[in-house]
Structure 1
Amino acid sequence: MTSADAAAPGTAGESSITAKLSTPDRYLAVWILLAMAAGIGLGRLVPGLNHALAKVEVGGISLPIALGLLVMMYPVLAKVRYDRLDTVTGDRRLIATSLAVNWVLGPAVMFALAWIFLPDLPEYRTGLIIVGLARCIAMVVIWNDLARGDREAAAVLVALNSVFQVIAFGLLSWFYLDLLPGWLGLGDGERLDISMWEIALNVAIFLGIPLAAGFLTRRIGERKPGRERYETEFLPRIGPWALYGLLFTIVILFALQGKTITSQPWDVARIALPLFVYFAVMFFGTFALGQALGMSYERTTTLAFTAAGNNFELAIAVAIATFGVTSGQALSGVVGPLIEVPVLICLVHVALARRRRFTRTS
């Protein structure tokens, strides 16, 4: 998304990384807050807008949200140097750590927090657990790019998570929503009504399409004008579209649920608290783990963001399909990006500040 890369580590400009961002990126938090406010305002002020937007879907997938995410992800994935992916796939430590954090630690942390903070609200608790099971395959590429993470590593880890999502989501939902509560004496469990095909369709749309487009664009661009012209002329032209796609997606998301969010502020606050804790635990814990394992700043950052982010598109779709659009489970899914987007923007700045420490100690 950024239109200019940070200076190389060790340069004199390292102490002011944020100042090197383009003007739109430097004030990204402001644009996002404005987009959230605009979405909520539209949802409340335009009668029937949320219902009209909700009807524009195919197979349970919102077409406006899909459009925004595709526009958002394409420029970032076009930046990936796919000929370098073997340097990531050969890093078994990175891949093993990512899989363990995402598919063992992440769901377990969200399950524990949901029961600790929402023991008396089973619908919201179930919605949060679903959010924890849906590992991020979309917006993480944006946060990682802003924080100067490893683009190639992000592409590999996101693709890997997408494969595991298709295979493991149904199994883990049965374990955490049905089997484990019974084992722990926490009451009757619940089962999700979603097939592996529906999850695969979600992955294909939100990751497969922009990944294929980015790969083909890079291959064609490098073959004709050459890598230098492709990276210095073409990429800066398409770069701003990632920001436009992100803001459009946020407006649509909050327009869909703006009335619900503003009419139930206490419920939103109850759901938000465990989400804040979750993002903090997953990001800082994984960042510390990457440092302890001796990883570079770029791969540590990528590891942390892929662990902290969640696939809210899938979580919302599953909650609505199983429990209904007005359900508490669906509200939990919607509150997910309400909290995740501003929190992870703040964590981008935290990561950039830590990058300076990596540079000074290297």
Structure 2
Amino acid sequence: MARPEADAPAPQHHAPDAARLSALDRLLPLWIGLAMAAGLLLGRWVPGLQGALDAVKVQGISVPIAIGLLVMMYPVLAKVRYDRLDSVTRDTRLLASSIVLNWVIGPALMFALAWLLLPDLPEFRTGLIIVGLARCIAMVVIWNDLACGDREAAAVLVALNSVFQVLAFGVLGWFYLSVLPGWLGLPTSGIDVSGWEIAAMVAVFLGVPLLAGYLTRTFSERAKGRAWYEDRFLPRVGPLALYGLLFTIVVLFALQGGAITSAPLDVARIAVPLLVYFVLMWGLSMAFGRGVGLPYDRSATLAFTAAGNNFELAIAVAIGVFGVASGQALAGVVGPLIEVPVLVGLVYVSLWARRFFPAPATAPGSASTG
């Protein structure tokens, strides 16, 4: 990312193309594939590992996954320039677009795909609808950063998703699983999830790293200045984000490896609507951002925050309501199996698509890229 002086506008483009990514970032699809395979093998072949990992919970939250997500999210949120968040909150086009895409179009699209492609599999269909309701608050910060999106905008949109998640998840679940199917003459499914459970998920997976990132930047800049913080400290902690991501993937797939490997045809059926959903949501959101005049960095942030889903919440809700061995829970588990490689691929598509956006204006004397 560019290192402009403190009084200069911050250019939001962090790198000109995928070739400028670090070796670790360029090979991310390989590392993720290996992490998935390692998790599946560990869960399948190491006796008692799944039970041991799943048993370590606090208030229904898997501690190993919580640790991985906290480690993953902290470095990215530590990079956010919190003194510039006001420029994002004043961007009504971005905020309105995010609300429409995440809370109107996203759930409706997943509902339509689930019914169109899984009409004979009610448990999987219900699980996918739950996935569509759980808007992303975690891994999106990684995809956004790799795609050179606007970090400050990502922080604001993730916080916005979190608030709406607490307020709207239960209502939307009732609407899409009970009310709308009834209106359309379709079978209905019940869902009962506590708003406190959702709030706990948000507090752990967003609130803790957000507070840690804010405090780290605030006190470090006061003590040693912004130049030291961004040139010396951030490069040291930055790789922790990807290490946390890979650890999270290993643990997640170790927990659910048996369910995935024992039902490959079911996984394939569930994967089809998920694949279509992620690609359509990302492409629609990117085009939407371009259409309303957003620059590349904020369009990329809009696209990844709209396309990603909070698989932790979806899995927790599915298990809590329907049981750990249910088809609904399996659908939630398959979510990240498809989402992770697809959104990694879309990072590279996003970097390629930047050529179709106007070049950002930079102030005289400010750094261009870095």
TM-score where L is the length of structure 1: 0.95
Aligned residues of 2:290 and 2:357 also touching (Cα < 8 A)? no
Aligned residues of 2:78 and 2:213 also touching (Cα < 8 A)? yes
List aligned pairs for 1:193-204, cutoff 5 A: 193-204=192-203
Unaligned runs of 5+ in 2: 4-9, 362-370
Match of 1:107 in 2: 107
Match of 2:333 in 1: 334
Match of 2:51 in 1: 51
What amino acid does structure 2 have at the position aligned with 1:199? I
* CA-CA distance at 1:262 after TM superposition: 1.0
Match of 1:229 in 2: 228
List aligned pairs for 1:248-287, cutoff 5 A: 248-287=247-286
Match status 1:213 vs 2:221: no
What amino acid does structure 2 have at the position aligned with 1:294? G
**Residues 23-64 of structure 1 deviation map (CA, whole Å, 9 limit, x = unaligned):** 111101100000000000101111221122111111111111
* CA-CA distance at 1:192 after TM superposition: 1.8
CA separation in 2, counterparts of 1:93 and 1:351?
20
Secondary structure in 1 matching 2:357: helix
CA separation in 2, counterparts of 1:191 and 1:230?
50
What amino acid does structure 1 have at the position aligned with 2:268? A
CA separation in 2, counterparts of 1:289 and 1:21?
26
List aligned pairs for 1:117-132, cutoff 5 A: 117-132=117-132
List aligned pairs for 1:78-93, cutoff 5 A: 78-93=78-93
List aligned pairs for 1:59-208, cutoff 5 A: 59-187=59-187, 189-208=188-207
What amino acid does structure 1 have at the position aligned with 2:252? L
TM-score where L is the length of structure 2: 0.93
Unaligned runs of 5+ in 1: none
* CA-CA distance at 1:193 after TM superposition: 2.6
* CA-CA distance at 1:358 after TM superposition: 2.4
CA separation in 2, counterparts of 1:232 and 1:297?
25
CA separation in 2, counterparts of 1:24 and 1:285?
29
What amino acid does structure 2 have at the position aligned with 1:281? L
* CA-CA distance at 1:356 after TM superposition: 2.9
Identity among equivalent pairs (%): 70
Match of 2:297 in 1: 298
CA separation in 2, counterparts of 1:23 and 1:361?
26
Alpha-carbon RMSD:
1.8
* CA-CA distance at 1:361 after TM superposition: 10
Aligned residues of 1:75 and 1:235 also touching (Cα < 8 A)? yes
Aligned residues of 2:170 and 2:192 also touching (Cα < 8 A)? no
Spell out structure 1 runs of 4+ moving beyond 4 A.
359-362
Secondary structure in 2 matching 1:205: helix
Match of 1:319 in 2: 318
Match status 1:39 vs 2:15: no
* CA-CA distance at 1:357 after TM superposition: 3.2
Aligned residues of 1:35 and 1:247 also touching (Cα < 8 A)? yes
Q: 1:217 to 1:361 in 2, by over 3 A?
A: closer
CA separation in 1, counterparts of 2:104 and 2:53?
35
What amino acid does structure 2 have at the position aligned with 1:350? V
